[in-house]
Structure 1
Amino acid sequence: MDNLNSALGTWNDKLAEIWALLTQDPATFKGGGIWGVMLNINGALKAIGLGLLVLFFAVGVVKTCSSLADVKRPEHALKLFIRFALAKGAVTYGLDLMLAVFKIVQGMVSTIITTSGLSGSSGTALPQEIIDKINQVNFWDSIPLWAVTLLGGLFITVLSFVMILTVYSRLFKLYMFTAISPIPLSSFAGEPTSNIGKNFMRSYAGVCLEGAIIALACIIFSAMASSPPAVDPNVSAVTAVWSYVGELIFNLLVLVGAVRMSDRIVKELLGL
């Protein structure tokens, strides 16, 4: 029973940490130290982004203009000027744009959690029937029961760390997108290279939307966990515990799989 309670305690702790991370502002995570470093890198890369801005603009002029006469045409020159100005604004104020997208998606996540009525506070616990059967086991029957609970507890612990690593990877991707954003955003200056910036923004929006998919997966699991697996009172303790652990691991596998598939689901939604 200690093996199962320890594994379920680890799982509930990681699940509660996921609920906290889904609504976590990267600027306040770990005291804001990581965010400060990313902002410094973003500021340093702006200078490189502005240099690339001129390069991409020149490439765009060469690719879209067949001769110097095309550049002298007022409508074409105005189009090039507007594109350059917008690209300059994207590099300079791109971080503000990305934060606005992030706040919109975070509002969606908060709405999903609030509407579901689940806050992640309810954890998975051993049913009383399982506890009673374990307490009635004699010494010899406790040996295979100990092996079953040890393997089940180890599997549950591994699944909990796999799931939390996936959620942490989303947060780290947000930091990486923030730090390197001036480089791909500078590609908006040239029409032939503008797809780089478009794909970057779509990928960033996809990383933000992963939070909503993960929240939905956790809500579905919480609804499933509210009705624990049925325990047959007529079977032995080892069989009852094995049946309970097997069904519980299956439910946890479904949740871990849904969390890990969140990036694939978002890519299908956005056509990435």
Structure 2
Amino acid sequence: MSDNWIVQNLQNALDTWNAKITEIWSLVLTSPKDFKGGGIWTAIENVNSAVQAIGLALLVLFFVIGVVKTCGSFAEVKKPEHAVKLFVRFILAKAVITNGMELMLTLFNIVQSTIGTIMTSAGLETATQTVLPDEMVTAIENCGFWESIPLWAVTLIGGLFITVMSFIMILTVYGRFFKLYMYTALAPIPLSTFAGEPTQNVGKSFFKSYCAVCLEGAVIVLACLIFSLFVTSPPMVATDASPVTMTWAYIGELIFNMLVLVGTVKMSDRIIREMMGL
């Protein structure tokens, strides 16, 4: 690394960005069962088991409500076709509640396979590192004291923006895990609504929302892939420009691309929900 303070400041900011991008690439392929050693998943399993009792109680309630609203009289309930239909609905709803974690984990693994396919098809299985162009480093190192003063301001502001955006990116990915855990822990309650025909839309909406959270990983990966392609073709550096102009132009375009990436990742939930019509 260069001994120049300005170059070091910029490179340190880029190192933070590269580290967070690399962490994101590994996190989007990590299962909730393995995240942070699996300790969180164990706690979520315990919560889910405790909430199952509430879900089974609600199952009976929603089943009775469904019978009352869908059958005009008790005579209709006694009809074999109605009785079988209600019985099958009740059994399936109970199975969904008791096996909800396995079902949700299966859906997650399907989405993870899709994400892995996207990464393999794009030919980028690792994060592309963002580095300073050699010609810009040389121009900065050749600056005198007075000429380097405006560069300090440019690099301080640019480095701060890059560092902040890197943490926003990683927080968004961590937030996805929080949502996955919350959906899994409380799943028995919304899943119990499948017991009644009038309330089944709640359960359907729950599954759609959960799938949307899972698919956020695909949007994050695609956004990072597009950004990686920008990084492999870095902004053109005008070698005949002054070091300040050269640095400002490079940092400005780099920050713009980063802002687009961060904005896309932050809106991944909205993008998926619009695609799914939620």
Is TM-score (shorter-chain normalized) higher than 0.5? yes
Aligned CA RMSD, in angstroms, stands at 0.9
Equivalent position to 1:28, from 11, 34, 43:
34
Please say if 1:231 is aligned against 2:240: no
Q: Which moved more, 1:114-123 or 1:186-195?
A: 114-123
**Distance in 2 between the 1:23 and 1:57 partners?**
38
| CA-CA distance at 1:121 after TM superposition | 3.9
User: Within 5 A, what are the aligned runs for 1:60-209?
Assistant: 60-209=66-215
| CA-CA distance at 1:94 after TM superposition | 1.4
**Distance in 2 between the 1:47 and 1:37 partners?**
17
Runs of 4+ in 1 over 2 A off after TM superposition: 119-122
One-letter code of the match for 1:14?
A: K
**Distance in 2 between the 1:89 and 1:240 partners?**
64
**Distance in 2 between the 1:20 and 1:187 partners?**
36
Deviation per residue, 1:68-123 (Å, 9 max, x gap): 11111111111111110110111111111111111111000111111111123430
Percent identity for Structure 1 against Structure 2: 61
Question: What corresponds to 2:3 in structure 1?
Answer: none
Please say if 1:6 is aligned against 2:23: no
**Distance in 2 between the 1:104 and 1:119 partners?**
18
Please say if 1:54 is aligned against 2:60: yes
| CA-CA distance at 1:64 after TM superposition | 0.9
For structure 2, the 5+ residue unaligned runs are 1-6
**Distance in 1 between the 2:192 and 2:151 partners?**
62
**Distance in 1 between the 2:10 and 2:191 partners?**
50
Please say if 1:213 is aligned against 2:219: yes
**Distance in 1 between the 2:32 and 2:136 partners?**
41
**Distance in 2 between the 1:201 and 1:59 partners?**
22
User: Within 5 A, what are the aligned runs for 1:231-270?
Assistant: 231-270=237-276
User: SS of 1:193's equivalent?
Assistant: helix
Is the CA contact 2:55–2:97 (under 8 Å) kept in the aligned structure 1?
Answer: yes
User: SS of 1:70's equivalent?
Assistant: helix
One-letter code of the match for 1:207?
A: V
User: What TM-score, normalized to structure 1?
Assistant: 0.98
User: SS of 1:230's equivalent?
Assistant: coil
User: SS of 2:198's equivalent?
Assistant: coil
